Structure 1
């Protein structure tokens, strides 16, 4: 009997072990079935192309990562439908990009040098202009220089004049000199009187610009000269010669105008928007039409303080050396100003990247694989094929520099077709359920511990949402189970459109 009982115990134990093994095997098969199915789905999806933001923001990542809330980025597999396009962006297929010839460059910090060109004319250096104008009345007895434009040397005679006033002044001076000699034997008072007379006559002659050489000749010869020679004050050319032999002249009449052309001025007309690039002391390049292959160097010596209201230009004075006298007054020429940016290196993009409508300037920024975002920018200095960007971009942003007009046109066309003959589509609603953790009816926000939201591919978590209308939160309390609907406003921002109390309690995660 004992032997039989022992056998029964062994049989029952074996049966129990076999049953447990069979049940465990079935559960393992059932548990692994969904995993296998999930793995098959992932495998069927193909190669992972990239990972997208779980909140719908228009940024992607080539590697797995988490967003600031700790949510995993969602993998996008080859062959899957693309994620919804972010508002304000345009997506171009790779084939179309290749057909359009799209090319991009990075916005970089660089040196900008602005080259400003202006036209002008050669003019005499006003500091080296001289006019011959006698200070007494007389007649021109003889002209030594008879033509305008004649080259003359310093000290060369220009003309001889006769003046009764000049002859009388010379005689008075000679009488005073003789009186001083005769008064030498007399008293000191007589000498002093004659000295004052001689000094007065000498000052009169000097005031009439009688040279020291002429005065020494007068003192040596002891007799007045009937004719006085006027000589050139500089080496130069005769610009004006209104004098004619035999003519009468009055004090102050200009008989000759002489210019020293060893240095000349270029008076350049610079447009007011370019005036800031012309600075006193700046070296410039000058070319004249008469000698197009000859490069000249000049220096800005003055910027005129007024603007011509007709041409909207200001004059800039450039001083040039005139070796060989090649530069003639009234010659046409051009000036090239090269100015660096006052702040040194600045953020800039190629000019071809800028879409200028006249009212605003924009660039197309690459946001991902074949996704572009039009972005308004503020521009500064333009130079050497680049435009300074003061607002709207940062260094490293990738901008379209070729075919951007075609992309912009396609973006505008898509926008027009989407809105043509139809009303704007309502934002998609996402349904979920959860438990209220906190309510701020005054601020219009509610914190909800919700379950997974499949349409957004969100896992279960606790989040704070804003209500579209504060009245939706009336009567809600913490701990209350609710059902609600979300819609997307801005990228990554979801608001509650509807929320109601739920009859069943939400199971937390």
Structure 2
């Protein structure tokens, strides 16, 4: 074989390896060629075998990649006709079309969602057939995936623990203010700091008072007069004795102790100082008097309180007040004595609610013989109650007892008098303190079974049919919640089973398939709309084409159209202005060309329109939309009675989602939907129900 051209070495045609690494000596190249190992016999003796092998490997790799790409493309492409047939079968099997974002939308043909304008998707016949029901069957596998658990509904003896927080307070009945009985000056203080314990009769202060000196001299003069009149007897002695009694009574009212009055009678030496003594045992918690201070009659000097009896003031949330009754035992603990509990009974429940904290004060009277508790200590209270069949508390401790209306803590077994005020006791039933619920246990379900929407409570009841378990959405009326249980007033019967775990998954599936669920209540007949339709059907048509009154009603109708257009545009200023014009024009309109009953009826309808328009000052756009149904009914009644002028049509439009899904309508002058209730949020939501012609008759919209 001859080398091509001027090629001196075959390696120059395949520069794949570096010369330093692929160059071989002539001896090695000759030896390798001569050996015939690792290359074809016809291969040029001096061509590098390693370069050839590298090029061959690259070509083989490219061929494999191309073959793999070709095979993969054939597999992924699949039979084109089969895919199209499957899509066609899905479309053919669909009986209705729905929106993936708003599954409550059901239309018989393909189109766009009237709420979000997304393309509708087909719904299979099996899915659509039960869209109006509140029942959903689940297979065994679906129940396992949703982790569905159920509980039997039955009457239970529910024990509810009410947790209260509060603090220890001073018993107001053990509080005493010590004031000065006479005007004067404090010359000496025996109690010169707060917190000291004083006992009855202990000295508190000495007060200098010239008036006291005068009163004592009057007493001594009266005493001398009695002694002189003793020998005279008769009326003179009686008069002298009455003067003495009055002078003595004056000293007593000024707070002079009896021993001081007796000393004065013996010694006949009046004093210009009065000693102030403690009238009771207790702790001085406040001191307003200071040495050298001038005081008047009634000036408060000390505040003394007996801490052997205390109040515990607890805060009860308004949700728990229904379970609390006077006389119920309360157990509480405080941080000062960990692990130790104290017991008491509810003696008073405040009739007023604190609007700032939304709590009610509950008072517990407590004996404190060892002075372990101190005012201001924080406490945590616990009240345990049992609920009856009607959800009320069972077993009130005051049933059949007699209590004092002024001091409810005074409780006795029969008729008696109050130990504090002397009033006759009355029965606890007469004061409403002994209301007892019916026994037998309450019909209750676990709290996890109830789905709350704010206005409704929903549970999912498990029933059986020929295919297996079926889960039904039930709206229930709840009683009070007691811990982990809800008392059921209506909607369930004893023996039924409710879903206590997995209810939210079932509800989500119901929502996806547009079944009645937690967020979508079952459809109810629009009672108000039916009533409005009946009223419209009873209208006596009095329309006269080309009559003069149309020139007066035309501006009214124009103002109404401007009002609805402004609401649809979310323009509050234009809506207010249009509403004001509508009200003014309807009030000023006159029934030109009409007389008698027609004129009176025309005026009445215009007045009805004016009265339906609210005061727009500072009115929010939502408030105006709430009044739109009433305004629309008034305008529609007029149009159906007296018609309208011009060749334009009035389109009666309806939105089923307006006013919290109750549905409401409005009138507009063109067929393009502009929702006056939602504005830009759902501008095209709604449908045209009919067209009101100039003669007041309604025709179907084409």
Q: TM-score, normalised by structure 2?
A: 0.45
Corresponding residue number in structure 1 for 2:364: 318
- Pick from 282, 304, 321 the counterpart of residue 350 of structure 2: 304
- Pick from 451, 454, 464 the counterpart of residue 358 of structure 1: 454
Alpha-carbon distance between aligned partners in 2 of 1:217 and 1:152, rounded to the nearest angstrom: 25
Structure 2 matches for 1:369-388, cutoff 5 A?
369-388=468-487
Corresponding residue number in structure 2 for 1:35: none
CA deviation after TM superposition for structure 1 residue 157, in Å = 1.4
Corresponding residue number in structure 1 for 2:191: 145
CA deviation after TM superposition for structure 1 residue 241, in Å = 0.3
Matching of residue 134 in structure 1 with residue 233 in structure 2 = no
Corresponding residue number in structure 1 for 2:438: 343
Alpha-carbon distance between aligned partners in 1 of 2:173 and 2:460, rounded to the nearest angstrom: 56
Question: Any gaps of 5 or more consecutive residues in structure 2?
Answer: 1-125, 387-391, 393-436, 516-702
Residues 358-411 of structure 1 show CA distances to partners (whole Å, capped at 9, x for unaligned) of 232111111123321121111101113111000100111111112222222233
Corresponding residue number in structure 1 for 2:311: 265
Corresponding residue number in structure 1 for 2:278: 232
- Residues 444 and 486 of structure 2 are in contact (CA less than 8 Å); yes or no, is this contact kept in structure 1? yes
Partner secondary structure for residue 195 of structure 2:
coil
Partner secondary structure for residue 267 of structure 1:
strand
Runs of 4+ in 1 over 6 A off after TM superposition: none
- Pick from 244, 248, 268 the counterpart of residue 294 of structure 2: 248
Corresponding residue number in structure 2 for 1:426: none
Matching of residue 101 in structure 1 with residue 200 in structure 2 = no
Corresponding residue number in structure 2 for 1:393: 492
CA deviation after TM superposition for structure 1 residue 245, in Å = 1.4
C-alpha distance 339-220 of structure 1, shift in aligned 2 (>3 A): farther
Alpha-carbon distance between aligned partners in 2 of 1:94 and 1:310, rounded to the nearest angstrom: 51
CA deviation after TM superposition for structure 1 residue 119, in Å = 2.7
Alpha-carbon distance between aligned partners in 2 of 1:414 and 1:353, rounded to the nearest angstrom: 21
Residues 157-181 of structure 1 show CA distances to partners (whole Å, capped at 9, x for unaligned) of 1112222212221222122222212
Corresponding residue number in structure 2 for 1:407: 506
Residues 195-247 of structure 1 show CA distances to partners (whole Å, capped at 9, x for unaligned) of 11101101101211223233233333332234322222222111110111121
Corresponding residue number in structure 1 for 2:160: 114
CA deviation after TM superposition for structure 1 residue 292, in Å = 4.4
Alpha-carbon distance between aligned partners in 1 of 2:266 and 2:163, rounded to the nearest angstrom: 61
C-alpha distance 220-335 of structure 1, shift in aligned 2 (>3 A): farther
Structure with higher strand content = 1
Corresponding residue number in structure 2 for 1:19: none
Partner secondary structure for residue 194 of structure 1:
helix
CA deviation after TM superposition for structure 1 residue 331, in Å = 2.7
- Residues 237 and 258 of structure 1 are in contact (CA less than 8 Å); yes or no, is this contact kept in structure 2? yes
Partner secondary structure for residue 328 of structure 1:
coil
Corresponding residue number in structure 2 for 1:457: none
Alpha-carbon distance between aligned partners in 1 of 2:260 and 2:384, rounded to the nearest angstrom: 53
Corresponding residue number in structure 2 for 1:210: 256
- Residues 107 and 349 of structure 1 are in contact (CA less than 8 Å); yes or no, is this contact kept in structure 2? yes
Partner secondary structure for residue 206 of structure 1:
helix
Instruction: With a CA cutoff of 8 Å and minimum separation of 6, indicate the structure with the bigger relative contact order.
Output: 1
Alpha-carbon distance between aligned partners in 1 of 2:139 and 2:279, rounded to the nearest angstrom: 81
- Residues 264 and 321 of structure 1 are in contact (CA less than 8 Å); yes or no, is this contact kept in structure 2? yes
Corresponding residue number in structure 2 for 1:53: none
Matching of residue 125 in structure 1 with residue 224 in structure 2 = no
Q: RMSD value over aligned CA atoms?
A: 2.3
Residues 126-155 of structure 1 show CA distances to partners (whole Å, capped at 9, x for unaligned) of 111101112211121211111112222222
- Residues 256 and 275 of structure 2 are in contact (CA less than 8 Å); yes or no, is this contact kept in structure 1? no
Residues 48-81 of structure 1 show CA distances to partners (whole Å, capped at 9, x for unaligned) of xxxxxxxxxxxxxxxxxxxxxxxxxxxxxxxxx9
Partner secondary structure for residue 192 of structure 2:
coil
Alpha-carbon distance between aligned partners in 2 of 1:87 and 1:226, rounded to the nearest angstrom: 97
Alpha-carbon distance between aligned partners in 2 of 1:87 and 1:314, rounded to the nearest angstrom: 45
Alpha-carbon distance between aligned partners in 2 of 1:87 and 1:200, rounded to the nearest angstrom: 93
- Residues 277 and 337 of structure 1 are in contact (CA less than 8 Å); yes or no, is this contact kept in structure 2? no
Corresponding residue number in structure 2 for 1:334: 380
Partner secondary structure for residue 222 of structure 2:
helix
- Pick from 237, 245, 262 the counterpart of residue 191 of structure 1: 237
Corresponding residue number in structure 1 for 2:73: none
Matching of residue 295 in structure 1 with residue 391 in structure 2 = no
- Residues 356 and 362 of structure 1 are in contact (CA less than 8 Å); yes or no, is this contact kept in structure 2? yes
Matching of residue 169 in structure 1 with residue 215 in structure 2 = yes
Residues 66-106 of structure 1 show CA distances to partners (whole Å, capped at 9, x for unaligned) of xxxxxxxxxxxxxxx9xx98942122221232343322111
C-alpha distance 384-307 of structure 1, shift in aligned 2 (>3 A): closer
Residues 264-317 of structure 1 show CA distances to partners (whole Å, capped at 9, x for unaligned) of 112223333332223222222233343343322222222223223323333222
Residues 15-35 of structure 1 show CA distances to partners (whole Å, capped at 9, x for unaligned) of xxxxxxxxxxxxxxxxxxxxx
Corresponding residue number in structure 2 for 1:89: 135
Question: Any gaps of 5 or more consecutive residues in structure 1?
Answer: 1-80, 417-509
Corresponding residue number in structure 1 for 2:518: none
Alpha-carbon distance between aligned partners in 2 of 1:244 and 1:188, rounded to the nearest angstrom: 50
